[in-house]
Amino acid sequence: MCGICGIISFDNKPVDETVLKKMTDIISHRGPDDEGMYINPERNVGFGFRRLSIVDLTPAGHQPMSNHDETIWIVFNGEIYNHLEVRKELEKLGYKYKSRSDTETLIYAYEQYGIDFVHKIHGMFSITIWDEKKKLFIAYRDRIGKKPFYYTFQNGKFVFASEIKSILLHPQVVKDLDEESLNQYLTFLIPPVPSTMFKKVKKLPPAHRMIINESGDVTIEQYWEVIGNDPIEFESDEKTVSKNLIDMLRFSIKDRMMSDVPFGVFLSGGIDSSTNVALMAELMDRPVDTFSIGFKDLEKYNEMYYARKVAKLFKTNHKEIIIDSRDALEFFPKLVYHQDEPLADPVCIPLYFVSKLARDNGTIVVQVGEGSDEQFAGYEWMKRDRDYANREYKWIQNSPSFVKSGLFRIFSNYWLKKKQLLALDYLRRAVEGEELFWGGAVNFTNTHKKFLMNKNFGNDSYIIIRNIYQDYKKISNIDDVLRKMIFLEFKNRLPELLLMRVDKMAMATSVEARVPFLDYRLVEYSFKLSPKLKIKGNQTKYILKKSVENILPKEIIYRKKQGFATPMNEWLRSDLADFTKDILINSKIHRLNIFNKDYILDLFNNHYSKKYDFGQNIWNLLNLFMWYDYWFEDKYI
């Protein structure tokens, strides 16, 4: 796992080595073990690299790395789990290796197979290649989107990096706020791909590659689709599917144990992290290192009882940390710095502290449970929205216009009075013929924004959702509500919010996080399963729970889902209250005249008085306002 950056000059001015060095240094937390730079003979291409040594700890793994005649150069962030398998194939073809690293395999695979070499590898990656002979730059982001790749094309320079802060150091990159992305952030907690909160700075979508020729022509194309080949009929035999799932998970976890440094597991005591521990314990001849986090004086948020139970059952080397709101407050400046653009998920806070716990105990690589709930339907809201879409939503859509308008008139007054704007927006979607489900983390809806914002951004948020559903229809003939919901999660919330919170917070502490539930072969298989196996009766995540019955206690498998959460509701009513109110009212963002201060103050007062729970709404705004003051007003510097 590493940090990468680079510059391609199209304005006949050479790459500035001093600028490249600064861009490289600012992401040193992603790679504290080594650094390197490469500038080509024409001095129009420069690569920077920071190394977190995981595989082949020797200097032979140094990057930027080249082929034997130095015509192909690479900087690479990630891990290729099948690199030894590909290496054997390449060695048979005559390639001579100088290292044991997966990076060298990528160079020769490109040399042998061209730009489609990506189909031969699996792992998590952000790969950039400069082909000196062909004068081509090629960049890849992994299939699911575990690793980030940010870029901009400004003033004759193409600039890229693992983190936006590196790009912003280039003197020809203009740092402007993208108000349209801000609007999307308020709804989705992160701007959907390819936008970022910085105008002209973009992110490469998952499963896409970018090709730039010597004239500066850019091609961005998709090389893989999450659904794979649509099944003629779903796999629905429980016994067969259960066996296949556990076998695939076992192989996936084994692949992700590839490491020359200590590795462990983030353990919450839920089914996903516990499965990681159980299967890893089968494969190891030493105790698994496990790490958990809890919250002081807020037991309802803590899962320590279950984490300790799993740790004891599998005899792990278990470590814990307890944090409180004061820890969060002290962390806020680092939070907005490491996020680069705001991620309105307060789970970023405990993720940072549990990552730091691992690093402080000498563990460099951890396995995490992200992606399981999304593909196997582990959330209660998935069942709720599926049922709404199949019942009430269809009924409303099929009703005469006078019925729709009457319903909206009656319930809008009621829900406005109760401040239930999400419920009102659900009704609005049905009446106006929009898709019901927008994602698992929708915060400020179009209905909210009528009160929150002084500017009207129209229905742009729905256009993003509509386009994803249209993409689904182009590649699948299966009209199943739950399957479409899962597809939407894989296209927006999972890669750009959940996986980026893991990447940014773990890498802030120089820890690599691996995601066994998101092996692309497992994902392709899960899309071939009958949705009726994912939610059966009232049981969410049904088939995965059946799959792990022989390795986990039923107390762990079938306990009520708690989820990895942060007690932001409570913190905003106690130690964070004064700080939050001050930022919400006095942030310099109000100079832009985007927000209705009175509505924001009303949100805060209603939450603080415990009349309503508006914790997520307030955190969304607080995170945004802190970010703006940091990056545009230098408030915390």
Catalytic residues: 2
What is the enclosing helix (H) or strand (E) of 222? strand 218-222
Pairwise CA distance, residues 205 & 208, whole Å: 6
Structural tokens at position 206: 């998952």
The DSSP line for 268-328 is -SSHHHHHHHHHHHHH-SSPPEEEEEEETT-GGG--HHHHHHHHHHTT-EEEEEEE-HHHH
Pairwise CA distance, residues 632 & 634, whole Å: 6
Half-sphere exposure (Cβ direction) of 617: Cα atoms closer than 13 Å: 23
Pairwise CA distance, residues 127 & 143, whole Å: 12
Structural tokens at position 188: 């989705």
Q: Which residues pair with residue 220 across a beta bridge?
A: 210
The DSSP line for 391-402 is THHHHHHTS-HH
Place of tokens 């680069």: 340
Structural tokens at position 162: 């693992």
Place of tokens 């998709």: 222
Q: Left if phi > 0, otherwise alpha if psi is -120 to 50, otherwise beta: which for 377?
A: left
Q: Distances in Å between the alpha carbon of 372 and those of 235, 367, 378?
A: 18, 13, 7
Q: Distances in Å between the alpha carbon of 42 and those of 18, 70, 153?
A: 17, 14, 20
* Torsion on CA atoms 510, 516, 522, 526, rounded to nearest 10: -100
On whether the CB atoms of residues 569 and 615 are closer than 8 A, the answer is yes
Helix, strand or coil for residue 14? coil
Q: What is the longest distance spanned by two Cα atoms in the chain? A: 75
Give every strand in the sheet of 218-222, ordered side by side.
Answer: 65-66, 72-80, 123-131, 136-141, 208-212, 218-222
Residues in the chain, total: 637
